Amino acid sequence: EIVMTQSPATLSVSPGERATFSCRASQTVSSNLAWYQQKPGQAPRLLIYDASTRATGIPARFSGSGSGTEFTLTISSLQSEDFAVYSCQQYNNWPRTFGQGTKLEIK
């Protein structure tokens, strides 16, 4: 199976600043990469798919990039509601696999 590795495990950023998350795949997943946001007690919410396409209703401050094995999620100017856990997931191969998540906390 494809192993997804996210870094860092925790990211401390101040509101209004930029946050950057990394995700690496153990083998190529082409652009079949999604990013999810998850808040406590809630299900994951799809933010980005096809590595760089925002899902319906997702604000423009969220952007994704990358292809192959290296991917990045960027939040350009953090809002209070953005502090959550962010996970990447590949849907190029079976079984689908997730990264272990990056917790975005308020600095």
CA 90/CA 34 separation, integer angstroms: 6
- For residue 2, state whether it binds other proteins (rule: CB under 8 A): no
Q: How many CA atoms lie within 13 A of 10 on its CB side?
A: 4
Q: Of 50 and 74, which CB lies nearer to other proteins in the complex structure?
A: 50
Query: Residue 44 CB, nearest distance to other proteins (Å)?
Result: 6
| DSSP 3-state of 107 | coil
* Amino acid symbol at 57: G
Fill in the per-residue mask, 20 to 39: x = in contact with other proteins (CB under 8 A), - = not in contact: ----------x-x-x-----
49 to 68, contacts with other proteins by CB under 8 A? Answer: 49, 55
